[in-house]
Amino acid sequence: MKDYVIIGNKAVTGGKISLNDLPGSAGRMDVLCRCVTASLFISFGMRRDVNVHLILKGEPGPEKIVRFCGATMKSLNPDERSSGSMIQKALLVDAKETETQSTPGVFVRTGNLSNLLEEFKNKNRMLIYLKEDGEDIFKTGFKLEDPVFILGDNQGVFEDDENLIKNSGAVSISVGPISLLSSQCITIIHNQMDRNEIQSAQNQSEQNE
Amino acid sequence: MKDYVIIGNKAVTGGKISLNDLPGSAGRMDVLCRCVTASLFISFGMRRDVNVHLILKGEPGPEKIVRFCGATMKSLNPDERSSGSMIQKALLVDAKETETQSTPGVFVRTGNLSNLLEEFKNKNRMLIYLKEDGEDIFKTGFKLEDPVFILGDNQGVFEDDENLIKNSGAVSISVGPISLLSSQCITIIHNQMDRNEIQSAQNQSEQNE
């Protein structure tokens, strides 16, 4: 299982968002939509072993978490408007502390980064913080097992959230020499994991011969 | 200079396209919009050394080429609707065989893949065809100098176009073990080139010490 957590610093938490203005009135929801596409889509298919957790921190509050579940996702297309439409429907749900399914494969609840980190820690998941000064994912020796990647949006990660992430024991990694869009970082992470998995399978196969 | 050529097999060539339905009525224009974002955007900036050539092959014809020029681009945002809006304006221009600028940094003309390949060959540009069975970009030994990358859209590249590309002398490369969205391929190519450039600069710096 692979999980991506994306912090939407201004992403709105209520009301009917306009699909014609995801960047503006919805608080850069377009950034989160691109992250959903990067996390879940491959050519002619979907990564069924991936969850995407969008943390919406914008007005009017309280904070919400919208989860896109690759395993059960239906009717999602790679365009921003498609995931935006699912977020729109999720925001119309009267969110509780436990998840409500708003459309097939999309779940919403009230909650914040602290809640999510606690839950992942309780499951002994490997927490990885995407940060420009982190170790290059191409060079890291450690094996990525059931990783949870935590990324900021276009505004990055503010100090309070960064402290939470660091206190959770997350390791910092980067994806290269240039600072990229959050969705681009996800694409590169996936590509590296795809390569690692193929390599592991080949090594295993050779050992069995 | 780096150029990306993306073949939009069904991308419409005329009329006023609907920004609310880029995937449907505009002939999967969303795929091309994501390619524009992947090609030109980094975090807080734009790749000024990149051109993106969208080949529109859909109805009603004739085929058109819309070029996004990183060097002179203005007012473009990373969301699909932003680049879609610029394509929309380009399609309202009465296109000729020579380029007309439709908005700052966006140019339109009638033309096809054959024209583009010929022009690049005349400039001695290195032509690279993105193909699943090509050599892995991570493993290729050749240096990418002024490369022109040619990609298909969600439908891939049909036989006629593939023959043109192969006859142009393009080398085939792939970006990993899994078939990805065109825009994701571009992100991985850029990342690899960013790494190569940093490495070259470091090598040069060490030689000069």
Q: What is the CATH number for A56?
A: 3.40.1280.10
- With an 8 Å Cβ cutoff, the interface of chain B facing chain A consists of 19-20, 22-23, 30-31, 34, 37-38, 41-44, 77-82, 138, 154, 175-181, 184, 187-188, 191, 194-195, 197-198
Taking an 8 Å cut-off on Cβ atoms, the answer to whether B79 and A188 are in contact is: no
Phi, psi of A194, rounded to the nearest 5 degrees: -60, -45
Are B177 and A154 in contact (CB < 8 Å)? Answer: no
Q: Residues of A annotated in the binding site, as ranges? A: 130, 152, 185
Residue found by looking up tokens 């049909």 in the block:
B158
User: Contact B154/A43, CB-based, under 8 Å?
Assistant: yes
How many Å apart are CA A127 and CA A18, to the nearest integer? 33
> Which residues of B fall within a CB distance of 8 Å from A177?
194-195, 197-198
Q: Say which residues have a Cβ less than 8 Å from residue B51's Cβ, sequence separation at least 6.
A: B1, B2, B3, B4, B67, B68, B69, B70
Angle between helices A113-122 and A159-167 (to 10 degrees): 10
**How many Cβ contacts (< 8 angstroms) between chains A and B?**
102
Q: Which residues of B touch A195 (CB under 8 A)?
A: 138, 176-177
Mean pLDDT, contiguous 10-residue spans, chain A (209 residues)? 98 95 97 98 97 98 98 98 98 98 98 98 97 90 87 98 97 96 98 92 86
Q: Model confidence over A147-194: pLDDT tens digits?
A: 999 999 999 999 999 999 999 999 999 999 999 999 999 999 999 999
* Full pLDDT tens readout for chain B, 209 residues: 999 999 999 999 998 899 999 999 999 999 999 999 999 999 999 999 999 999 999 999 999 999 999 999 999 999 999 999 999 999 999 999 999 999 999 999 999 999 999 999 999 999 999 999 999 998 876 678 899 999 999 999 999 999 999 999 999 999 999 999 999 999 999 999 999 998 888 888 888 87
State the residue range of the domain holding A117. Answer: 2-208
Mean model confidence pLDDT for chain A: 96
Q: What total number of domains does chain A contain?
A: 1
Of B23, B43, B197, the CB nearest to A79: B23
Best residue in B178, B192, B203, B205 to probe A by mutation, most A CBs within 10 Å? B178
Give the number of other CB atoms < 10 A from CB of residue A135. Answer: 14
Q: Residues B104-162: pLDDT tens digits?
A: 999 999 999 999 999 999 999 999 999 999 999 988 766 788 999 999 999 999 999 99
E strands, B89-160, are: 100-103, 106-110, 126-136, 147-152
Q: Which among B43, B80, B178 has the least Cβ separation from residue A181?
A: B43
**Residues with Cβ < 8 Å from A103, sequence gap 6 or more?**
A74, A75, A86, A89, A90
Cβ separation B38–A81 shorter than 8 A:
no
Task: Please give the pLDDT value at position B199.
Answer: 87
Nearest CA in chain B to A34: B79
Cα gap A26→A10, rounded to integer Å:
8
Q: Which pLDDT value is given to residue B15?
A: 87
Interface touch A80/B77, C-beta < 8 Å: no
- Chain B: give the shortest CA distance to residue A96, in Å: 31
Q: State the nearest Cα–Cα gap between A110 and chain B, in angstroms.
A: 27
